[in-house]
Structure 1
Amino acid sequence: MFGHDSSGLASLIPGYWDHVGMIVGWSDYYNDWLVVEAEPSTGVHVTTFSTFLTRYETVAIERVAVSDAIKEAAVQFALAQVGKSYNWDFFSKPKVYDDKYYCSQLVWAAYMAASNGQVNLDPNPSWSWEYGYAVAPTEVYDSNWTYVVYYNGI
């Protein structure tokens, strides 16, 4: 699930999309879908789909073209990271197994871990002039492994 907001610090993130989270399942308690994400103020945490939607001018949902087993393992990996700190290091090559994550690193790492390194959502896994070593939300969006199922922009 991707978000774009043209205000604030979002303009510092390369590419169109400035945030990504992973839909991890339905909550009867909240009567809403749940999203795992990493944010500077809260680190890795779970929020509701509705809350995620309110923060962005444009939202897209993509699926990753992998087996249900890999999707479930990616969800379990992401959920296991809840409570970890936000990773401010956008300049080094991201790690799959880390003690902190930024948003797109979390989603990328979840699929790398779930697939034993076979599903790399970063189409620029080495240095690029636009993204450096980091994996940006737009790179996940542009991955050959993903496809759009919903898009809504203002």
Structure 2
Amino acid sequence: MKKTILALSLTTAMLFSQASITNAESYVDDILKLQPDISEEELLQDVQMIASNTGQSEQVILEQIYTELKEDEAKGIAEKSAYSKEKYGVSPRGGSGGTVSIGSSTKGNFYYTPSETAYLDHGHVGMYYTSTTIVESVPSDGVRTISTSARKVDSSGSVVKSVSTSTTNRNNAADWAYTQVGQSYSYNFATNRLTGHDGAKNCSKLIWSAYKVNGNLDLDVDGGLGVYPRDVRDASDTVLVRNI
């Protein structure tokens, strides 16, 4: 009888273990569909690192990443529904194919614009290094500077925001962002909050790191594993300056 119970217990444990593995594999597949420019190897390395540092299971971490990506996807869908397709004609991944110049603003401020491709819709952010110069990270060039007159976006949904901190912090954050010019682009939004401040980075990581390093501000609306452009836009320490 005891042998039968033990055998049943082992079988049940194996089934639960197999189900957990299957769920984890499913999350990996779903995450890579939502974040296709990172490799499975890179994703799993980051998940293992987070699990080691936090004590959470890899399954829990994968589920959190997937949930954040789906929430960001939902924000993108809501954003598009707020504007007509004609008005939402933004160029992909923060490119410069819009029709409206973002205009000048104060050093340390940032702009947000809706931005999408057929499979990646996170929006885009860039920081004012001077009143007429933007520092930003885009796939084509990595971290670069561009004039505000040349930086064109679609006006629908595009905004300029300021950060509620001292002028010193704003200036230092912009200066730090400028030191990153020349760094390559990273497609990893899913765990970018936990990657190093230096090195390859995407647009939201650039601004988040700039204010985290200079002022210890956390420009991330939900404090998740990934900092997305809309997370920066909606962070509690930001204030609307104007609509573009």
Secondary structure of residue in 2 paired with 1:121: coil
Residue of 172, 177, 195 corresponding to 1:78: 177
Match of 1:9 among 98, 117, 120: 117
1:40-98 deviation digits (Å, cap 9, x = unpaired): 0000000111222x233432100001001100110111000000000111222423523
Secondary structure, aligned partner of 1:107: helix
Query: Which structure has more strand as a fraction of its residues?
Result: 1
Distance, in Å, in 1 between the alignment partners of 2:121 and 2:228 is 8
Deviation digits for residues 77-135 of structure 1, max 9, x if unmatched?
A: 100000000011122242352311100110010000001xx310002222xxxxxx221
Find out whether 1:134 has 2:232 as its counterpart.
no
The two structures, once aligned, show a CA RMSD in angstroms of: 1.7
- Residue in structure 1 matched with residue 213 of structure 2 by the alignment: 113
- C-alpha contact 1:121 1:145 (8 A) present in aligned 2: yes
Counterpart Cα distance in 2 of 1:105 and 1:56:
22
- TM-score normalized with structure 1 length: 0.79
Give SS of 1:76's match: helix
Query: In the alignment, which residue of structure 2 is the partner of 1:62?
Result: 161
* Gap regions ≥5 residues in structure 2: 1-110
TM-score (norm 2): 0.51
1:24-43 → structure 2 map (5 Å cutoff):
24-26=129-131, 33-43=132-142
* Counterparts of 1:134 and 1:111, CA distance in 2: 16
Give 2:145's aligned amino acid: V
Are residues 96 and 72 of structure 1, via their aligned partners in 2, closer, same or farther at CA, if it must alter by over 3 Å?
A: farther
Shift >3 Å, 4+ stretches: none
Gaps of 5+ in 1: 27-32, 127-132
Distance 1:4 1:119, change over 3 A: same
Whether the aligned pair in 2 keeps the contact of 1:96 and 1:112 (CA below 8 Å) is no
Aligned to 1:46: 145
SS of the aligned residue for 1:9 comes to coil
Q: Is 1:89 matched with 2:181?
A: no
Q: Equivalent of 1:99, from 199, 211, 215?
A: 199
Matched to 1:145, the amino acid is D
Which letter does structure 2 place at the counterpart of 1:3? T
Residue 12 of structure 1 aligns to which amino acid in structure 2? L
Indicate the percent of aligned positions where both proteins have the same amino acid. 29
Aligned residue pairs total: 132
Q: Larger Rg: 1 or 2?
A: 2
Given that residues 13 and 136 in structure 1 are in contact (C-alpha distance below 8 angstroms), is that contact kept between their aligned partners in structure 2? no
Tell me which amino acid in the other structure corresponds to 1:106: L
SS of match in other structure, 1:105:
helix
Q: Is the 8 A contact 2:192 2:205 kept in 1?
A: no
